Amino acid sequence: MNAIRHPLVSVMIPYYNCEQYIAETIASVEAQHYPNIEIIIVDDGSREESAAFLAELLKSKPAIRLAAQNNRGVAAARNHAARLAKGEYFLFLDADDQILPDYIQKSVEILESNPDCKLVYPQAEFFDSKEGFWQLPPYEGIKSLLTGNCFPSSVSMHRAADFKALGGFDENFTTHEDWDFWIRLLSGGGKVYQIPEVLFRYRKRRDGSSLIDSLEHNRKQKQEDLQRVYEKHSSLFLQHELGYWNHLQTLAQNWQLAADNKKLQEQSAADQKHNRQLQADLSQALQQTDTLQQQSTDLRQQLDSFRQEKHKLEQTVAELNNRIQHEVRIFGKYKGLLTVKTFKPLIKTEQAISSANRYRKLFRDLIKEKGSIGKAYQTCRHTYKASGIRAVKALLRQQNLDLQAVEALSIDNARDGFVILATKHTRYIAQLVGSALKKVDIQSTILFDMPKEGYSNKWHIVICPQMFETLPPHYLAFQMEQSVSSRWFTEAYFQRLHRAAHVFDYSITNIAYLQEHRLPFKKLHYLPVGMLPPLSQNQSQDFEFDVAFYGDPSCERRQLFLQKLSEKFSVKVISEVFGDELHDLLKKAKIVVNIHYYENALLETTRIYECLSLNKLVVSEQGSDQHEHSELENIVDFVEIDDIEAMIARIGYWLNHADQFDTRLQAIADFQQQPDKFQFYFYRFLLSQDLIDFETFYRLCSNYIKPQGNFWCLSLPESISRRQDFDRDNHYDIWVFPGLRHNIGWVGCGLSYKFMMRVAEDLGLPHVTICEDDVLFNNTFEQRYTHIKQTLSATNEPWDVYSGLIADLSEKTDISQSAIHSDKENFYGINRLVSMVFNIYNHSVYSKIYSWNENDRLFHNTIDRYIEQHGGIQGVITSPFLVGHKEDLFSTLWGTQNTAYKETIARSQNLLDKKIAELNQD
């Protein structure tokens, strides 16, 4: 038989001022069941008295080898011990920790029987100031080790040959030298085994000086060493898709989990103490219960006596009730007949009077709206002749609803001017709003705090309303926080947004988030940041710095970027400086960098546009909403998120290519002269509130709209789900027009068509196709649409509007044979067009539609009814309808689900086919 092998195990203990614990640590090694162990202790420059204590202790233990060195750190002490060691297996044990008797025996057995095993470690527990299980994570491959150290050095045993081949611990590390070593050890493969029992004890010192505790208090040192580990093994981290910032985030999450676990353990101890108190209270309560039970027995006996008396009384009462009910039934037969005959006619009369009074009141409202009783009467008479008495009632009811909507959302008294309430950080936005108001002769004042006498009754535009302790009585909120972080989105903040008459937001992503949190659609307005008139006319070339950054530099993410940039360039960090002072500093830098506070942040457009207004070249990380900012491509130099090296490369490029630098500055200067999207969307809001008229809006904003082709879709930017659904189905290069709005939804729709018809005429388009974003394209659409459009373009026959869908075809509609002929489609003339889902508009109809009067706010003046009732518009249609209507979307015009149209569209198709069949029979 082969003798059992017991290779020598070297247990090496670095010692530094640890006289309180070293004896217990040595004792735990001496108590091992394994027979072949050497112990080596290296004193790492301890105090004189501590070194003397150790020497005295070891006089009685001659087998233990003691060495000393100047204080060079734990990595150097361990390497020193390893050079003295003769063992086949190494175990580094800290001078205050302990191992249980079977630890070395079981570790050696695993290493001996598994030649491919590189490392063994057991489960562990805390002792001393803290007790309990220490959850060491399992090793699941090298990537799991890269995301955090799975096994501290004093817990693990490995082969001496591997340690020596790798050159031991890296003495440049103050901490995490063990993690660096394990990465080197396992990067080439090899197995790791965890013994499934507690065999190691980690001491949590009462004075908080344990390594884990000291690292917890010295995060800076910890981060520096983590960065060294990353830089040393960066290729390995990147190979496993672990960028440095991702890596730091993972570690930060692990630290937070550890902290949460600590809190839970402390809470558990407190709960146990509380439970002991509860048990004492329970014992006392049980004694009181015995007393109460005796009293309860006595009360039950009294209750039984009362119940017997109650039963007798109930029998007596029941007999009396039976007699009374008998008399009532006899009387009720005569009384009920008399009441019905007497009061039924009166009830009907009262209902008729009530209904008449209601419509009389609604008619008076109509008189006020039209300006005279004659005009109101003519309106009702016209509607009655067209559609009957029910249509008149519907008109009056809808008129009332529209007036209520205007009243709920109206800020028309803001014509007297606005107060803009901002913080110093949002001064640029305040200036942007003030400049736009001034252009339309609306006065404004900028405040940075509540006046001593309190807020006025004027309408306020409050930028970042969460920053103010008290808000004005009447305000609009400009929401500028990023929904990628819930930092500011508290219940109190949402209440402030709900109380605002309207809410602006610069990001579509944010608006989707606000809608998910039940901010009403009618309150939300997309208002992207834009450009102020140039703040710097003459760009100085005498730069003092290569790069400037302004903003909060305190977060770790920005600190890392700025540290790396400072190694290559002269960098000016600007914080808590505003206005002209800020602009003067920015002018001294050749390039401004935009670094996100959060990793997946939205693009910080306020900073970018402020810098562009100063004619500064900006190098920026991309935003998670980059697709919303295509206009900034080739104006701002964007790099991928987290890519520090790319940012360094782009800055270097601009600094070293003067001609290209000047060309980019000229492109920025040209961009400053382009129509501005902030102006378009802000004036769009003023138009929705009747604070400017349509002609003013068109004069200021028509140049911003630059259609592509002659197939357009009307869609509101704030209707997120509808727009996303349309984009998924847009296989036809349809250009999207950002629809106009009004407090009365159908007025906003009419304004949109009025605007588009003007644009189509200004562009000289022969015809334009316009659909709405809830259109449904079927499988035959493209082939049919191409043929229909070609036929209409080629014909010499007059036509105005081709309708691809009729939502509500009237029985009174006339269908006639059309002079337009095709070999694939049958065209028919139609005198009523009631749908805007999909139409082709000929140039002959442009002026007829943009003549629609937006100031006529009666319900019959919706744009589709206007087209239907406008004399002289020649409609064309084919069957079946060219398109459908999506039923699962929400109507932004009427505030209902589109399913309301399902039956009317089906009925319209059937009626159209019936009329065509009758026409063909004739």
Model confidence at 149, in pLDDT bands (50, 70, 90)?
confident
Asked if residues 493 and 466 have their Cβ atoms less than 8 Å apart, the reply is yes
Same domain, 438 and 398: no
Model confidence at 326, in pLDDT bands (50, 70, 90)?
low
Report the C-alpha gap between 358 and 279 in whole angstroms. 69
Report the C-alpha gap between 174 and 192 in whole angstroms. 26
pLDDT, tens only, 879-920: 999 999 987 655 554 444 445 567 888 899 999 999 999 998
Amino acid identity of 658? Answer: A
What pLDDT is attached to residue 599? 81
228, part of any domain = no
pLDDT, tens only, 710-762: 999 999 999 998 999 999 999 999 999 999 999 888 899 999 999 999 999 99
Complete DSSP assignment for 836-892:
-SEEEEEGGGHHHHHT--TT--SGGGSHHHHHHHSTT--EEE-SS-S-EE-SSSB-T
What pLDDT is attached to residue 268? 61
What pLDDT is attached to residue 229? 82
Same domain, 726 and 789: yes
Same domain, 367 and 510: no
Mean pLDDT, to the nearest integer, of 665-676? 91
For residue 44, pLDDT over 80 is answered with yes
Q: Residue holding tokens 């940041």?
A: 529
Among residues 184, 205, 226, the one where a domain terminates is: 205
Report the C-alpha gap between 93 and 70 in whole angstroms. 20
The reply to whether omega before 101 is within 30° of 0 (cis) is no
End-to-end CA distance of the chain: 114
CATH classification at residue 832: 3.90.550
What pLDDT is attached to residue 647? 97
pLDDT, tens only, 787-819: 999 999 999 999 999 999 998 888 888 999 999
Asked if residues 22 and 30 have their Cβ atoms less than 8 Å apart, the reply is no
225, part of any domain = no
What pLDDT is attached to residue 390? 62
What pLDDT is attached to residue 174? 82
Same domain, 361 and 396: yes
Among residues 673, 694, 722, the one where a domain terminates is: 673
What pLDDT is attached to residue 810? 85
| 324 to 320, 335, 530: CA distances (angstroms) | 6, 16, 83
457's tokens: 């009754």
* 425 CB-contact burial (10 Å; exposed 0-12 / middle 13-18 / buried 19+): middle
CATH classification at residue 432: 3.40.50
Same domain, 669 and 742: no
Domain count of the chain? Answer: 5
Model confidence at 151, in pLDDT bands (50, 70, 90)?
confident
pLDDT, tens only, 554-571: 888 999 999 999 999 999
pLDDT, tens only, 833-863: 768 899 999 999 999 999 999 988 765 678 8
Asked if residues 134 and 167 have their Cβ atoms less than 8 Å apart, the reply is no
Mean pLDDT, to the nearest integer, of 318-329? 64
| 84 to 43, 160, 163: CA distances (angstroms) | 13, 12, 13
| 697 to 679, 700, 861: CA distances (angstroms) | 10, 5, 21
Same domain, 841 and 903: yes
At residue 183, the 3 state secondary structure works out as helix
| 402 to 79, 96, 369, 389: CA distances (angstroms) | 84, 79, 11, 20
Report the C-alpha gap between 272 and 727 in whole angstroms. 58
Same domain, 592 and 485: no
Asked if residues 545 and 588 have their Cβ atoms less than 8 Å apart, the reply is yes
pLDDT, tens only, 502-536: 999 999 999 999 999 889 999 999 999 999 987 66
What pLDDT is attached to residue 129? 83
Q: Give the residue from 595, 524, 522 showing the smallest Cα distance to 554.
A: 595
Mean pLDDT, to the nearest integer, of 545-553? 93
Report the C-alpha gap between 542 and 761 in whole angstroms. 49
Report the C-alpha gap between 783 and 766 in whole angstroms. 21
Same domain, 45 and 120: yes
What pLDDT is attached to residue 419? 96
At residue 419, the 3 state secondary structure works out as strand
501, part of any domain = yes
Q: Residue holding tokens 């103010």?
A: 468
| 225/597: higher pLDDT | 597
User: How many residues comprise the chain?
Assistant: 922
Model confidence at 875, in pLDDT bands (50, 70, 90)?
very high
**Domain housing 54:** 9-205
Same domain, 51 and 147: yes
| 220/58: higher pLDDT | 58
CATH classification at residue 185: 3.90.550.10
Mark 258-285 as b/e (b = at least 16 C-beta within 10 Å): eeeeeeeeeeeeeeeeeeeeeeeeeeee
Report the C-alpha gap between 808 and 174 in whole angstroms. 79
Q: What is the pTM of this model?
A: 0.60
Residues ≥6 apart with Cβ < 8 Å to 872: 848
Same domain, 132 and 162: yes
Beta strand 838-842 with 801-803 is antiparallel
Handedness of CA 764, 767, 771, 772 (dihedral sign): positive
Mean pLDDT, to the nearest integer, of 299-313? 68
Same domain, 735 and 848: yes
20, part of any domain = yes
For residue 72, pLDDT over 60 is answered with yes
According to DSSP, residue 282 is labeled: H
Least confident of 12-26, 253-267, 335-349: 335-349
Same domain, 714 and 648: no
236, part of any domain = no
Q: Give the residue from 437, 227, 220, 370 showing the smallest Cα distance to 858.
A: 370
347, part of any domain = no
pLDDT, tens only, 244-303: 555 555 555 555 555 555 566 556 656 666 666 777 667 676 777 666 777 766 667 676
574, part of any domain = yes
pLDDT, tens only, 352-407: 555 566 666 666 666 655 555 655 666 666 666 655 676 566 556 555 544 454 45
Q: Give the residue from 840, 841, 835 showing the smallest Cα distance to 885.
A: 835
Asked if residues 814 and 830 have their Cβ atoms less than 8 Å apart, the reply is yes
Share of the chain above pLDDT 90, in %: 60
pLDDT, tens only, 442-500: 999 999 999 999 999 999 999 999 999 999 999 999 999 998 877 778 999 999 999 99
Share of the chain above pLDDT 70, in %: 77
47's tokens: 């105090």
Report the C-alpha gap between 214 and 201 in whole angstroms. 18
259, part of any domain = no
Q: Give the residue from 820, 782, 823, 824 showing the smallest Cα distance to 804.
A: 782
At residue 802, the 3 state secondary structure works out as strand
Asked if residues 679 and 530 have their Cβ atoms less than 8 Å apart, the reply is yes
CATH classification at residue 662: 3.40.50.2000
Mean pLDDT, to the nearest integer, of 137-164? 86
504's tokens: 């602006």
Among residues 178, 205, 232, the one where a domain terminates is: 205
pLDDT, tens only, 587-618: 999 999 999 988 889 999 999 999 999 999 99
Report the C-alpha gap between 445 and 456 in whole angstroms. 12
What pLDDT is attached to residue 680? 96
